[in-house]
Structure 1
Amino acid sequence: MEIRIYDSELDLLGVIENQVSFIWTRRYNEAGDFEIHVPITERNRNLLRVGNLVYKTGFTDAGVIEYIILEESNEKNEITVKGRFLVSYMDRRVIKGTHSYIGNAELIMRQLLSEDTEAIPRVVLGSLNGFTDEISFQCTYKNLLTYMSKIAKSFSWGFRFRPDFNSKQIIFEIYKGTDKSITQGVNNRVIFSEMYDNLNSAIYTENSQGFKTKVYVGGQGEGSARTWVEVGVGEGLDLREDTVNASDISSEDLTQAQYEAALTQRGLEYLESNGFVSSFEYETQPDVNFTYRKDYDLGDIVTVKKDSWDIAVNMRITAVQEIYENGLMTVTPTLGNPLSETIDWEDK
């Protein structure tokens, strides 16, 4: 494996040498991250600078160095480098002003990047997928990466900044993984289980603490004049209610139906982010029965079976951690969302 270092202009600076370990964590709809440990040499010191880019040959992602430690002792002489993938550039931008977004979610994501924030050098829009999903929300001076992640999670999409070192461009792409679970019959199925001998270790998590089934979304107005919409269902002990303050959504320039649709969307997003959380994290070899990045990849839906626990799940791969040490590579995919996460759409 070759790790190349580029400057922010996408010009090649060189290749790092003698890496001790390399952890490369890809995330489906958030910024991935990485960590590198290398000996302190003049070459490595010159290449590993804050702001430079890290790229594994043959892959679609690249990272930007944000954090460096030089450590020297009787036991260690090492540089530790950490950073996030290039979509973290969006963490440096704010959506300026107050905007009401109603319509095609894919087009809105592209608009957020290309029109409603300061341009990011070398970033260009990739090809349209033609996704038809609709969304309605409003925001005022909010972080671009945060809102890109919110929209992508709403529709189970992934997004990335793909560097093209030949054209010196960084291409923004939205994509969706493929269903390769045992329950479908169109694509080749991918199954991880003890029977297939490709399930080295496993951690299964369930969490219902933040689970909600119905919300009352409050819009603008006071007292009895305030607009409320109900979203969700449930009865008896299965009913888990909450309220959502959506007074930040302005009714100005919206019809009553459009305004209530925006409030309903806020409620749907809240329920989506406060669902019953389950996740499966497991370790596998990258080429046992199924080859990583060929038979399955980040964003795909696969089947994991743990017969001794009587658990079989079909879930989307939302993160993949690749670890390179001592000449070996291990892959740890995470299916589902390991932690309950509240998507806060409110402007405060």
Structure 2
Amino acid sequence: MDTMPIRIIDKDFNLLAEIDNYESLIFIRRFYKVGEFELHININKAYTDKLIDGNLILLGNKLNKVGIIMHRENTYDQNGEPTDTLLIKGPTLKGLCNRRLIIPINGAYDSYTGSQEAIIKYFVESNCINPTDVSRKIQNLVVAPNLNRGFQDKWRSRYEVLSDKLTEIGEYANLGWDIVLNFNNNKLVFDITQGRDLTADQELLPPVIFSVDFDNLKSRHYIDSSLNHKNVGYCGGRGDDENRLVQQVGEVSGFDRIESFIDCSQAQDITELKTMGHQKLDELKKIKSFEVGIIPYGSFTYELDYDLGDIITAQDRKLGVTMNAKIIELKEIYEVNGFNLEAIFGTNIPNLLDKIKNMAKQQSSTAIIGTGGNTITNIDGGSFV
């Protein structure tokens, strides 16, 4: 087996055990979203009593590959009988940001203007590091120094899940984020990640080209979809009916123009209205995604020649596809028969949960304005008239 030892530590960084004889381990790293892991192990093996809620698993000495145990169960066979196999699951360390909402401090919304990196780190600082309510503070979590990556921007939020907002800003700004261990200082460090340009079009770094022709790809699944794509938005601000301020974003014309109404009723002025419109229109961009099985030690070596967040060139001559795309997800699979690696290049494909969340946000923002100022929105997005 191509084993990856896992170390079990507690939230205070104490090493509890090390295991390398599990049945299978799937560890999913995501550039914009929170990753996850799933471990299968026989309960009779040593140290399985340490695989409990709240402890962390660390893959080898990879400080950026850490999971939080949040689920433990005995699996069942085809007859419904319990087996000796334990199923252990949880999010990556980024899942700490699932545990906090963005709480407005002054006024209906919490907003920040600055570089996109500064905005992301502001929301983490305000809700995890130095919140007004000290009970919301996450011990040992720190934010790395701000390098002001990304463009000048403005974002606002109200009782949204912090990780969802970080994903939304990150996808718009093309910035990833992560939380990694720092054993030297016993800290969990939040920082922005960007990746490298390894495409065939540049000459600064050795290019990475994934292609069946180069014997570094196995399975592949390509999606190029504009079914939910919109490229021109009519953004509605404050006001009702003919008195409502509406501004257009997007300049596409003719056959290719696809219009959508975008609710931006929380915008304070025209500048913010257009900014929010562009941000929300970006969520309706075309989907270009290449899901592949990678031969991890073929012509390129995983984590040496390429890694999560890098931009590579993917080719499939049979499908007539050549695309420069960011590696947004990597699934590491450790099993008895060896190590497998699956990747997603390109654009996140919205799942049903993503679509429900977007619908809820639209309904919530509409409720805040209401009719005649008589609607009050509660924390969960419901409304009382």
TM-score (norm 1): 0.92
Contact 1:285 1:329 in 2 (8 A): no
CA spacing shift, 1:243–1:296, aligned 2, 3 Å: same
Contact 1:129 1:175 in 2 (8 A): no
Describe the superposition over 1:144-170 as per-residue Cα deviations: whole angstroms up to 9, x where unpaired: 111111111111111111012332110
Contact 1:61 1:160 in 2 (8 A): no
Q: What SS is found at the alignment partner of 1:188?
A: coil
Q: Which runs of 5+ in 2 are unaligned?
A: 366-380
Q: Which moved more, 1:23-32 or 1:158-167?
A: 158-167
Q: Which position in structure 1 is the counterpart of 2:72?
A: 68
Q: Which moved more, 1:156-165 or 1:264-273?
A: 264-273
Q: Which position in structure 1 is the counterpart of 2:328?
A: 318
Q: Which position in structure 2 is the counterpart of 1:101?
A: 112
Q: What SS is found at the alignment partner of 2:217?
A: coil
Q: 1:180-195 to 2 correspondence within 5 Å?
A: 180-195=198-213
Q: Which position in structure 1 is the counterpart of 2:252?
A: 234
User: In the alignment, does 2:223 pair up with 1:216?
Assistant: no
Q: Which moved more, 1:199-208 or 1:65-74?
A: 65-74
Q: Which runs of 5+ in 1 are unaligned?
A: 252-258
One-letter identity of the residue aligned with 1:92: R
Aligned-partner Cα distance in 1 for 2:92–2:51: 15
Q: Aligned-pair distance for 1:338?
A: 4.4
Aligned-partner Cα distance in 1 for 2:114–2:191: 19
User: In the alignment, does 2:58 pair up with 1:47?
Assistant: no
Q: Which position in structure 1 is the counterpart of 2:368?
A: none
Q: Which position in structure 2 is the counterpart of 1:134?
A: 152
Q: Which position in structure 2 is the counterpart of 1:256?
A: none
Q: Which position in structure 2 is the counterpart of 1:79?
A: 86
One-letter identity of the residue aligned with 2:88: V
Aligned-partner Cα distance in 1 for 2:287–2:75: 40
CA spacing shift, 1:51–1:154, aligned 2, 3 Å: same
Contact 2:74 2:82 in 1 (8 A): no
Q: Which position in structure 2 is the counterpart of 1:300?
A: 310
Contact 2:119 2:154 in 1 (8 A): no
Q: Aligned-pair distance for 1:173?
A: 1.0
Q: 1:223-302 to 2 correspondence within 5 Å?
A: 223-249=241-267, 251=268, 259-302=269-312
Contact 1:34 1:84 in 2 (8 A): yes
Percent identity of equivalent pairs: 28
Q: Which moved more, 1:116-125 or 1:234-243?
A: 116-125
Which structure has more strand as a fraction of its residues? 1
Q: Aligned-pair distance for 1:76?
A: 4.1
Aligned-partner Cα distance in 1 for 2:92–2:282: 26
CA spacing shift, 1:166–1:72, aligned 2, 3 Å: farther
Q: Which position in structure 2 is the counterpart of 1:153?
A: 171
Aligned-partner Cα distance in 1 for 2:237–2:327: 35
Q: 1:7-18 to 2 correspondence within 5 Å?
A: 7-18=10-21
CA spacing shift, 1:132–1:26, aligned 2, 3 Å: closer
Q: What SS is found at the alignment partner of 1:293?
A: coil
Q: What SS is found at the alignment partner of 2:230?
A: coil
Q: What SS is found at the alignment partner of 2:48?
A: helix
Q: Which moved more, 1:333-342 or 1:61-70?
A: 333-342
Q: Which position in structure 2 is the counterpart of 1:3?
A: 6
One-letter identity of the residue aligned with 1:224: E
Describe the superposition over 1:44-76 as per-residue Cα deviations: whole angstroms up to 9, x where unpaired: 431110111011123222110111111366894
Q: What SS is found at the alignment partner of 2:205?
A: coil
Q: Aligned-pair distance for 1:91?
A: 1.0
Describe the superposition over 1:185-224 as per-residue Cα deviations: whole angstroms up to 9, x where unpaired: 2221000112211111111112211100100111111223
CA spacing shift, 1:87–1:338, aligned 2, 3 Å: closer
CA spacing shift, 1:42–1:195, aligned 2, 3 Å: closer
Contact 1:37 1:78 in 2 (8 A): yes
CA spacing shift, 1:139–1:187, aligned 2, 3 Å: same
One-letter identity of the residue aligned with 1:204: Y
Q: CA RMSD in A?
A: 1.9
Aligned-partner Cα distance in 2 for 1:100–1:270: 16
Q: What SS is found at the alignment partner of 2:313?
A: strand
Q: What SS is found at the alignment partner of 1:96?
A: coil
TM-score (norm 2): 0.84
Q: Which moved more, 1:8-17 or 1:81-90?
A: 8-17
Aligned-partner Cα distance in 1 for 2:299–2:146: 34
Describe the superposition over 1:275-332 as per-residue Cα deviations: whole angstroms up to 9, x where unpaired: 1101001111211111111111000111111112221111100000011112511111
Aligned pair count reads 340
Q: What SS is found at the alignment partner of 1:94?
A: coil
Aligned-partner Cα distance in 2 for 1:45–1:72: 18
